[in-house]
Chain A
Amino acid sequence: AQKITQTQPGMFVQEKEAVTLDCTYDTSDPSYGLFWYKQPSSGEMIFLIYQGSYDQQNATEGRYSLNFQKARKSANLVISASQLGDSAMYFCAMRELSTGFQKLVFGTGTRLLVSP
């Protein structure tokens, strides 16, 4: 079963606008962490933001915020004031903490294109 689902293969946004990238997850582990990474065309994985399952508040990092809806098992990434440099692939990932395994499971990604 797919643990991380990103239903938007591609998204377009105009510069300076906000955009939401969707991510839903599936786990029975009560303790987990959710990550968002940006992958530009060069290939490196750039960490953006993290949300723990027990965190009371939605995570924010600069222009990035995570809309965490635990009951819906969704962890959408919101990018405010989009910039041309935001054009990249974006991956949602999850780590289940109770199992003791540290591996990250990634979604299929969303390609974001920011237009002038």
Chain B
Amino acid sequence: GAVVSQHPSRVICKSGTSVKIECRSLDFQATTMFWYRQFPKQSLMLMATSNEGSKATYEQGVEKDKFLINHASLTLSTLTVTSAHPEDSSFYICSASTGQSNYGYTFGSGTRLTVV
């Protein structure tokens, strides 16, 4: 149980366009989702925490207008990278708080974004 499905796994987009990444909890209700960014060979950096039905809480230094997070339902959270630039190219991964196995966290499989 406690599976988070993240799509797409890979996406290439042109500079200036927007890209939406979805994380869906398949067999549980995720009241809280976390969005991380990971540069090559670096650690996971928390971007924001989203709670269902309320505005996301962004970490210091993360542009909330650039990285739009929506958590409209208990099973779906989305991250939209707006007006993407090459420096936004990264690995994005979501995590849901489950209150179940893995001591409360399940991760999506990640999305590798390349902006050309």
Q: Which residues of A are at the interface with B, using a C-beta cutoff of 8 A?
A: 33, 35, 42-45, 47, 50, 91, 95, 101-109, 111
Chain A residue nearest to B107 in the complex (CB): A45
Number of A-B contacts defined by CB within 8 Å: 49
Known A33-B103, A43-B112, A44-B107: A106·B32 in contact at CB below 8 Å: no
The B interface, classified by DSSP as helix, strand, loop or mixed, is: strand
Does B109 sit within 8 A of A, measured CB to CB? yes
Q: Which residues of B are at the interface with A, using a C-beta cutoff of 8 A?
A: 32, 34, 41-46, 49, 91, 93, 95, 97, 102-105, 107-110, 112
For A102, the chain B residues whose CB sits under 8 A away are: 32, 34, 49, 97, 104
For A109, the chain B residues whose CB sits under 8 A away are: 42-43
Q: Please report the C-alpha to C-alpha distance between residue A47 and residue B110 in the assembled complex, in whole angstroms.
A: 15
Are A91's CB and B97's CB within 8 A?
no
Are B105's CB and A104's CB within 8 A?
yes
